[in-house]
Structure formats: structure tokens, C-alpha cells
Chain A
């Protein structure tokens, strides 16, 4: 709303008097967007995301956003936000599961066009057979689209990451999209205590003229300008142009690390870093892992926990260092393919026992006992 006070991001993130609210993840999305000075949001229903965008619609009705519409499908919605973003406004949308895959061509298009779009992904299982149950297999597909990928453990993370995502995405030396992922239902549909900034403050507006690529509004030179021109000729100059462009997107993601490090207080958290057995998880699996690690400690076992908050850019060196003296790594996941297992495996140089278990999918929950079983097994072995 126009009477909200604009605070610079550092002041808003660190110095405001926060209050506790007992809210769902969907409501945490609303609270974040309310303070994000978003110009336009575009919605499309899909379980378990729908409620969050209903609530963003309410914000529009209350005057917090300047435009809001329901698009016609996810590919169209992602295209609509792309057009708006190229036109120089701050946009937000959300999707999940099959919606993520329906929209897929746009995610790498956003990155390539360096659009600072923030999209929330409320994950769910993929067809076939159709399911609306929790699962985060879609993250396996999206990791290499060039986007910055954050994974929220709970409603608090979702709130914090969304607010901060706009600021990181719009940094001139970054200026690529940010996907904030939360495990659908577990985060979106459950209540949790969330520390929230006052209603009276919001982020500064987006300045499209600070972008490293020209905004398309016919107000800026050069006039003979296409976003983005083709480099499709069959010659070396074309290949080199496309290759260097892709490298620049990767470099932009790497440059985001200094901001993510500051605002997320590190791309990962380590608990009990000296332990020889380490559980590594992201998203809600971190919560069950925390419980399992606590119970293992009570049983006299020495186990540590690494919470990965940011999958892209992936904290390769930090993970290597953290696991250097570890004997066994346990990676619990809410999907069939074990994408986090693959990610961790890919950065470990020495031969070490890496257990890609437990893996639950198809909608099942993950009792802490399953993780505890893995911990006990490697203690005994």
C-alpha cells in the first residue's frame, strides 16, 4: 500500500521489530509479497500452490499490487511475467508439480534473458499416474535451467527467502530469476510460527534502468534493439556468442553468492561439524533429519546435520570442506530419483560411503525413524 514505508533491504531484513504469527506456508507467501513492493502478479491454479496466489490476489484487491490476473496455463503465465519483466516491472508468480513442467521452456528463457523474476514453487508429484501428493521430483528437472534455486525448510524460510529473492535477483551483477521452492502441503498447508516484519514497511521499488540488459520500453537507446537477438548462424562467431552468453548466466549465478551468503547467512548450515556421520538434506527433510539427529544423540551416537538452503549456485567448496573428514553421509529425500544424492556425490572427491536413503515419494511422509535406522546401520557397520 502506498502508505507503507520503503526501507532499504538491509534495514528491513535486520533492523525491524519483528512479530510472531502462527500461519501456513501459503500465508507466509502472502506476508512476504505484501512487503516486497511487487508491481504485478499473475496466477494460475494448481494444488498445492493455489491458495498462495489467492492470497496474493487479496493483496491486489487491497491495493498492495498494481496489477493481477489469472493467466490461461503455466506456459502462458511464465510468458506473461516475462513480458512484464522485460517491460521493467517487478513481478511474482507461483506454481508447482505438473505446472512447473508445463511451463518448462520459459525457465531457461528467463535466465537467458536475465529477467529478475521471482517464482515460488510448491512442489508435488508428477504424472503418471496423476497425484496431488507431496514430492519434490520436479527439482531434479529444474536445477540446470540457469535460475538461482533456493529450498525452504519451513514457512519461515519461505517468507525470508521470498523477500530476499527480489533483492538478490535484481542486483545488476546478478539479474537472473530466483526460484524459491517449498515442499508442497508440508510447508504450504501446515501452520508454523513465523517471525514477520511490520506491515508498515516494504522493499524499495525495482529500478529497471539498473539492469545489465536494456529494458524494453522505447525510452532508452539504442533503438535498434531486440531481446534477445538470435545467434543461430552456423559459424564459429555464433557458437562462441551462445557459449559465452551461457557462461555469463552461470557467472551471474556465482556472483549472487556474496548476496545470498549475506542475506541467507550462508548457502548451508552445519550442526555438529566434527561428527563422522553427517546427514545432508534440503527442504522439509531437514526437519525430520534434525529430529533423527537429536534422537541419535540421546542414544549416544555422534551425528551431524547439514542443511542446504541454496541448490544453485551449489555450495561446492563448502560441502567439500564440511565433508572432508566425514566417514558416512546420509541423504534423505522426498523424491524417487535422489537428485540431492547426485549433487552431493558429484562434489565428493574421495571414496566415502554415501547413503541415498531414506527416499520417500508418491506422497508419503518421512518418519524420523527411517533416518534414525540409517544412522544406526552405519554406526553398527
Chain B
């Protein structure tokens, strides 16, 4: 982003929306801000229409705050609950159709490379579990096989939530949901392992219960996509509306599943990515370097 275009004309300052003024004066562009600074700067998400206690909203707040260089990042989303939040995000983003997010990101990332050869533009895909593991799986995996330099983040609420709580491939076995009236008949898709085998150089599963881990994962994933190869993060984002728990229990549910071992937190780092990270050892906020 050319910073000078993101400032207000003095003559219009008094009529600019408050929210815009705050973004210009106190937003995170070009500044060292992360999840531990939340509450002390103007965040890139301005309100949102998601349910009370929504795991996606919580996850997205942490992800967006963790993005290393928001002023030169573009997000590609997909259809679902999360897409209702994206118009509120002050990072330019694309919604195309349900499930084609990694294909759109492929074209976009390559276009950015052609148009800005001397600059890094990070392309981050953020989509739900249905978009990533079901309808879009082919395009997701093909982008990994092709070693596209994009980060894929799945917001895993283990259901098609926006359409009313149907079973997805990421729902766990035996769970009764709409379209699974007698319980799901096959296990949760092991996408982190699929991602590792499909060539992702950095893979991590995280949950919003541990914000710093989310931040580290996002920064390492974006860094990997910049210089090494594709990366994948799966963030468990429990859904109070469709899994029917109280809206103040979201983090507790995430922690409980991790504790009982039904949501495994893993991290797979390829040798190439590990070597690449070494050079940043000791450097605080390394992923900010652009």
C-alpha cells in the first residue's frame, strides 16, 4: 500500500466518518501490532454481524490482528458465515463463489507477482470447513500440489453453519446434525495430514483459546508462503448456534476438546521451512520484515 494515499485531506477531516479517522490515525498499517496489543489500537475489523459467542468471529479477530503486513495483504474468502464479516475488514478481500477460493487466490497471487515484482503481496485464503474440505477440496489441494505461494486458513466450526447446521466433512464421527439424522458415518477429515502430504511446508492446528499460538502460526504460515511454499492453518472455531452450547462457553469448548484429545493440535514444519525460519531466530516480530 502506498501510505500517502491513505490519509485524509485536511479540508474534509471534519466530515470523515469517525471509524475511518481512527483507522488512519490509529490503525495497524505499518506498525508493529499483534494479539497482545488488542484493545490498544484501531482494529481492522469494524463490528460484525455474526452470532454472540461465534468461534469464527473470535478466530478472525485474532487472525486479522496477526497478519504480519496488513497493508500489503489481500484475503480471499468463500461463502459461509465468515463471508458475512468480510465486508467489515479493512484489508481488501475477494468473495467469488463457494469453494473456489484457492483457485482465485492462485490467479491473484500470480497477478500480484507480475504487477509488483519488487514488492511482496501476501495472499491469504480464509474460508470455512465446508468450503475448504468439501466443495473446494480439489482446488485447495491442487493449489498445494502446484506449490502456489499462498496461505490457506480453515475456520473449522465442524458444520455448514450459515445454511443451518448441516454435517460437513470436518464434523466428527457420529455427531447428529442436519443431513446426518442418524449421526455422521465417517471420521473427521484429517486435512492437516493431507496438507502435509500434499506439499504444505508449514501446517498447524490452533484454537482461539491460545491467542499467541494463533499469532505465531499465522505469522509463520504467511512467511512460509512468501518464500518457501504453501502453508495451511486449521483453527478450531466452535459454533454455539449449531452445536448448542452457551455463547460464553466457546473457548471452554475448544479447550475441552483439545484436552480430551478429540481435537488434535499439531504442527508440521518441512525441513525447508525450518531452515528458513532459522535465520529469523532471535529477531523479534520477524515476520514483519518485508
Contacts and interface: CB of A to CB of B under 8 A. Distances in A.
A88 interface: yes
Contacts of B138: 72-73, 76
Contacts of B74: 87, 216-218
Interface string A219-236: 111011111111000000
Contacts of A261: none
Interface in A198-255: 208, 214, 216-221, 223-230
A86 B104 CA distance: 9
A226 B96 contact: no
Nearest to B108: A83
A83 B97 contact: no
Which interface residue of A73, A85, A218 has the most chain B CB atoms within 10 A? A218
Contacts, number: 146
A87 B6 contact: no
Given A79-B139, A83-B94, A217 B87 contact: no
A287 interface: no
Contact of A80 (B71, B88, B95, B104): B104
A83 B96 contact: yes
Interface residues of B, number: 45
B121 interface: yes
A73 B100 CA distance: 11
B189 interface: no
Given A73-B138, A79-B96, A224-B88, A218 B110 contact: no
Chain A interface size, under 10 / 10 to 19 / 20 to 34 / 35 or more: 35 or more
Interface in B88-114: 88-97, 100, 103-114
Nearest to B71: A218
B139 A87 contact: no
Contact of A227 (B1, B6, B95): B95
Interface in B70-98: 71-74, 76, 83-84, 86-97
A60 to B, nearest CB: 12
A223 B23 CA distance: 10
B114 A83 contact: no
Contacts of B107: 40, 42, 79-87, 91
B97 A109 contact: yes
A220 B91 CA distance: 11
A226 B94 contact: yes
A82 B108 CA distance: 8
Interface string B101-138: 00111111111111110000100000000000000001
Interface of B: 1-2, 5-6, 23, 46, 71-74, 76, 83-84, 86-97, 100, 103-116, 121, 138-139, 142, 146
Interface of A: 39-40, 42, 66-67, 69, 71-73, 75-77, 79-89, 91, 105-106, 109, 113, 208, 214, 216-221, 223-230
